[in-house]
Structure formats: C-alpha cells, structure tokens
Structure 1
Amino acid sequence: MLTQLILAVGLAMAVSAMCSLLESVLYSVPLSRIELLSQQRPYLGKTLKKLKQNIHRPITAILTLNTIANTAGAAVAGAAAAVVFGEQHLVWFFAAFTLSILLFSEILPKVLGVTYCKTLAPWITLPLHWLVKLLAPVVWLIQGATHFLGGGPGKKTLISAQEVAAFAAIGQESGAIDAQEVKVITNILELRHQRVREVMTPRTVTFTLDAGLNVGQAQKFAQKWNYHSRVPVYEGETDNITGIVLLKDILLRAATDQNQVRLRDLMQPAHFVPESAPLTRILLDFFELRSHLFVVVDEYGGFTGVISLEDVLEEIVGREIIDESDQAKDMRELAKKNVKT
C-alpha cells in the first residue's frame, strides 16, 4: 500500500507540474520567438503558432488533464494514506500533499516556464500538440458548452498596435533601440489613421503643364523644374490630368535637339488615388506600381493635388527628406510661397 501511495502522489505531482509548465510556456513565449522558430524548424514553428493562435484549445486540454490528475491522485493517495497512516492522520497528509502540489507542481514549474519560455518552447510543442489531439473530444465538448453559454473565445488579435508601441518604448528604456527608431515604429503604426489629404501637395500649389506644349516651350519653365522631377500634364482644362512627364525625358530630348516633341508624346500614365485613402494603402501602391507620384482626386473625380513617395516616407521618418537639388527644407511650403509671389 505504501508503494501505491508513493506512485499516486508522485504521478499526480508530475502530471500537474507538466501541465503548469506547458501552460506557462505557451502563455509566455513571444511571437517573435515563434517566427524565429518557424524559420529554423518550420514544422515546430508552424505547429506552435497554430497552438498560440487558438490558445483556448490547448489551455482547455491542459486544464482538463490537470484536473483529472489532481482529482484522481488525491482520491487514490487519500485511500492509500488512510491505510498507511491511519484515518486520524489524514488531515496532516492532505495538508502536506496540498502544500507539495502548490510548491512543486504549480509555483515552481510556472516560474521555470516563464523564465525559460524561449528555450522550452520547441520542447513543449509536440507534447502539447498530441495532448490536444488526445483530448479532442473533451475539448470539443467543453468549447461547445462554453459557446452555448455565450462565452465563446471569439476572434482576437494576438498583439495590438498599442502593444507594439509599448514594446518599442520598453526597448528604448532597455537600450535595445534608440529614440529615432521608436519614432519610426510609432509613425508606421499611425500611417493607417492618416489620409492622403493630410500630406498631399494641394492643387493650388501644384506645378502642371499643358500636354500640347513641346520640349522647347517646356524649357521656358526652367525655374519651376528646379523643384520638380515629375510634373502632372493636363489636356485642355487644368482639371483634366492625363499623365506624368519626367524631367529626365525632357532633358534627353532637348540634348538631342528634339525640341518639337509634344509633352503628350513623352508623358507616362498617371495613377489616381482618392484623397480619403489611408497612407498604408498608398505606400503599398507606390511599391507595387513602381511609381513616385500619384494624382489625388476627390469623391467626384476632380483633381485636388498630388502625393509623392517622398511625402509618405517623410511621415514615417518624422522629418523632411532633403537631397542635393532641394533649395529649402520644406519644398511644399516653398511652392506655396512661390505661388503667392
């Protein structure tokens, strides 16, 4: 009977400790570690990511096994202890048993799991995966009951934009990243809330050219070309933007004495974007279309301004991007002044 008591206590504590370790590692392992594991060991990384994304399933399996182990272990150990120590000493046995479970099967494994979650993550992935499969009927039953009672897990993002910003701030405090890097991260997160109309160059200060002009005539605007490498071209009315002409194409034709070539023959197709579009979408469009300048239109299709890739990048870095050809720190403000004068 003493052997039965030792086995019951040992097995209950071991299973409970394993459950505590699995739970703490699963909760504590960061997504960055999971992504790194996916690159190094794709199968383990993919499996762990799936467990993390549907965390209610492995947690249900862990709690189920832990409850079974503690309940069965206490029942078997209690019966054996009554024979070995006598019923009059059962209260002392259960006090010692409960304290041992608390210390060695709850607190210690969870502390170890949180502390060494990155190291232990690859080792707990497959056992946890098979535990979920083994207890799948129980997990399904409990989830069904929870959903029926209105407490379903629902869809939830593993990490929010606010948490990313908080992690960046923590990284700055620890010295892992500097203030400028934190600013860039924060600005990137804010892009989805910013609209094209907030950063575009308005139509009133946008330099445009008539598509009917030839290269020779376009060169008469040399002072304007000092501020622009790409210019919207209109046909007839200034609202009717039909394309974009590049300064390099005009200079190339001028250098080869092709001054009679019309701008409409040199222009490239213009890409139109709504002024209400978020900057995140516009940034992707710039890269996908391999373009540097978009024409901005309102809800009625009217020309309201232009936005450049540089405008979006300036919002990310939080400062004006100045190259050797710029004559002022803020070229948009300079354009406004030139229009007034």
Structure 2
Amino acid sequence: MSFVLIIFLVALSGIFSGLTLGFFSLNKDDLKRKAELGDKQAQKVYAIRENGNLLLCTLLIGNVAVNSTLSIFLGSLTSGFAAGLIATALIVIFGEIVPQASFSRHALVLGAKLSGLVKLFIIILLPICWPIAWTLNKMLGEEIPTVYSRKEIIKLVEHQEDLFQSEIDADEEKIVKGALSFSNRKVKDVMTPKEKMYCISSTQKLTQDIVKKIYATGHSRIPIYDKSPNKIIGMLYVKDLVGQAVGRKNAGQIARQNAFLVNEDRSLDDVLNAFKAKRNHLFIVTNSKPEVTGIITIEDILEEIIGGEIVDEFDELKIHKA
C-alpha cells in the first residue's frame, strides 16, 4: 500500500511539473489561432491556458503540495536523511526530468488529454489560487502578445516550407515573401528606365512601318509625347490601331489623354493603391525636377509579389509567332 502511494505521488508530481512546462511553452496567440481554425486539441488547451496566472498558481501549488506530502510520507517510513535522499531522487528524476522532457515534445497532445484533470485541480484549488491569480493580473497586467516583424514572418514561412509535413509549397512561399517585402521597395527599383522606353511623338504619322515597330515592341500601351519625351501627354493603346487607316492619322489623334505621373521615390504598395484608384495599368515615372525617368506598370508590381514574369496578351502573341 505504501509503495502504491509513493508511485501515485511521484506520478502526480510529474504531471504537475510536466504540465507547467508544457502549457507555458505553448504560445497563447498560436493556441488561439489554432483553436479558431478548428483544432480540437488547441481548443481544449486554450480554454485553460487563457487565464495564465490561475493556471500557473494551480500547477505550482499542486506540485509543492504533492512534493511536500511525498517527503513527509517517506520520512514516516525511514530515517530523515534517507527519506530526503529518496524523495529528492524520485522527485528530480521521475517528477521533473522525465515528465518535462516528455511534455516539452508533446505539449499540445498531452495537455489536451489531461485538460479535464487540470480543470478538476483548478476547481479544487480555486479558493487558494484565485486571490493570488487576481493579484498577479492586477500587478502584472495581461500577457504581452507576440508580434512578428516582416522579416520574422518571412523566416517562419521559409522554415515551414522546408518541413516535410508543411502544406506550404515553394510557389506559395515565393508569393508570401514577395507580398511582405515589396512595400519596402520604391518605384525606381522596378520601373523600366527612360533609356528602354519606347515612345513616339504626338505628330508622328502612323505609317505602316511605324505600326509594325509598335507591334514589334510587344507593348500594349505606348507613351505619346509632345515635342519632348519629358512631356508625356497621353497613351496609345495598341488595340486602338485595329481598323485605323494606316498613314492617315498621327499618334496624337488616336492616343487617350490619360497619362498619369508618379514620383520615382514612392513605395510600391502606395503605387499599387494608386493603380487601383485610377483603374489604370501604366504610370509615367518622374523625378523631383520633374523629368521623365521611366514607366511602371501594374505588372511590374505584381511580378515583384509573385517573384516571376507576367506575360500579357501581346507578349503571348509574340511567343506564338516566334
């Protein structure tokens, strides 16, 4: 009978010790997120972990009570020194090391399985623990939530993608990383520079050779300037050339007067919002003087997000013809 009681007390000590480490090694915000996503184990554990100070008091007071009872009981069976030595060995090995090693690896699973037992301990020790927990809540306040920086989230996604069990694939990782990092980049980092722009004068006659050159660029929109490339006045939509009498009109007569300007130092997320607000796909990029320094399209920004090239309908046409 005495041996059974010793085993029971050591096991109970191990449960208290393991649960203390296990429950508080689980991030409260992570548990809440998993619980909201329908994880049954997380729901059971979060219901207990939510009131951290009450849980902590319950587990610690329960552990101290069990360990003290074990020492007193062993003392009644043998000499004081022997009882202390045996109690210390049992508590350290089977009441601390072994259970904490187990709970640290399987905290969520074991915590969920023992959640009913923990609730029972909370009810039993509530008259003692609730005043202490209430005092701690008033003195220390709520637990500080976990806030991740962009770089930390990117690292987390990279780590998750590398795991065999992960649901995240390489393409999803690339998109998430692009979405989180593109706002730190500026227009001038991704724009097509002025030297690579293809634009034509508003007075340029749309001869057969000019139309062929326009189609050959593969662009769906061509900037139109007045006198100087630094004075963009509109956009020629290549699709508007269909059905036009070649050579009878100049570019300015067909161009749409919707050339929007954007400063090269604006952030990409700001410009993406501007694209959505203006319902336009191409902006003329200028510097502070202001001089035209290039063009940026919504495709340029989306390519930064997805980490790959987007082929529009004209690019596709060129590929099929090649």
| TM-score bin, normalised by smaller chain | 0.5 to 0.7
Q: Which amino acid aligns with 2:232?
A: I
CA deviation after TM superposition for structure 1 residue 288, in Å? 5.6
Q: Distance in 2 between matches of 1:138 and 1:276?
A: 50
Q: Which amino acid aligns with 1:15?
A: F
Aligned to 1:240: 231
Q: Which amino acid aligns with 2:36?
A: S
CA deviation after TM superposition for structure 1 residue 222, in Å? 0.6
Pick the aligned partner of 1:99 from 93, 97, 109: 93
The answer on 1:277 being equivalent to 2:266 is yes
Q: Which amino acid aligns with 1:138?
A: L
Q: Distance in 1 between matches of 2:316 and 2:6?
A: 83
Pick the aligned partner of 1:325 from 303, 317, 322: 317
Instruction: Check conservation: 2:20, 2:60, Cα contact below 8 A.
Output: no
Pick the aligned partner of 2:60 from 67, 86, 109: 67
Aligned to 2:22: 21
SS for the counterpart of 1:19 is helix
Q: Distance in 2 between matches of 1:36 and 1:98?
A: 33
Q: Distance in 2 between matches of 1:104 and 1:161?
A: 35
CA deviation after TM superposition for structure 1 residue 219, in Å? 5.5
Matches within 5 A, 1:1-341: 11-24=12-25, 26-27=26-27, 37-40=35-38, 58=52, 63-91=56-84, 92-103=86-97, 105-113=99-107, 116=109, 120=112, 135-142=133-140, 156-157=147-148, 159-168=152-161, 170-171=162-163, 190-210=181-201, 213=203, 217-218=205-206, 221-226=210-215, 227=217, 228-235=219-226, 237-251=228-242, 254=244, 263=252, 267=256, 269-283=258-272, 285-287=274-276, 289-315=278-304, 316-319=306-309, 321=311, 323-326=315-318
Q: Distance in 1 between matches of 2:176 and 2:145?
A: 29
- The change in CA–CA distance for 1:231 and 1:14 in structure 2 (over 3 A counts) is same
- The change in CA–CA distance for 1:270 and 1:79 in structure 2 (over 3 A counts) is farther
Aligned to 1:147: none
- The change in CA–CA distance for 1:16 and 1:179 in structure 2 (over 3 A counts) is closer
- The change in CA–CA distance for 1:176 and 1:138 in structure 2 (over 3 A counts) is closer
Q: Identity, % of aligned pairs?
A: 20
Q: Distance in 1 between matches of 2:144 and 2:169?
A: 38
CA deviation after TM superposition for structure 1 residue 38, in Å? 3.0
> What TM-score, normalized to structure 2?
0.65
Unaligned runs of 5+ in 1: 145-151, 329-341
Q: Distance in 2 between matches of 1:327 and 1:7?
A: 76
1:126-164 superposed Cα distances (whole Å, 9 cap, x missing partner) = 97xx99x963531453469xxxxxxx9697417432333
- Higher mean C-alpha deviation, range 154-163 or range 225-234: 154-163
Superposition CA RMSD, Å = 5.0
SS for the counterpart of 2:295 is strand
1:176-226 superposed Cα distances (whole Å, 9 cap, x missing partner) = 777666666655555345432233222233233455x59xx4466313321
Q: Which amino acid aligns with 1:247?
A: V
Unaligned runs of 5+ in 2: 124-128
> What TM-score, normalized to structure 1?
0.62
Q: Distance in 1 between matches of 2:59 and 2:98?
A: 14
Q: Which amino acid aligns with 1:274?
A: N
Q: Distance in 2 between matches of 1:231 and 1:303?
A: 14
Q: Distance in 2 between matches of 1:84 and 1:142?
A: 43
Instruction: Check conservation: 1:4, 1:80, Cα contact below 8 A.
Output: no
Q: Which amino acid aligns with 1:191?
A: F
Aligned to 1:333: none
Q: Distance in 1 between matches of 2:166 and 2:144?
A: 37
Instruction: Check conservation: 2:190, 2:296, Cα contact below 8 A.
Output: yes
Q: Distance in 1 between matches of 2:251 and 2:310?
A: 34
- The change in CA–CA distance for 1:235 and 1:64 in structure 2 (over 3 A counts) is farther
Instruction: Check conservation: 1:16, 1:106, Cα contact below 8 A.
Output: yes
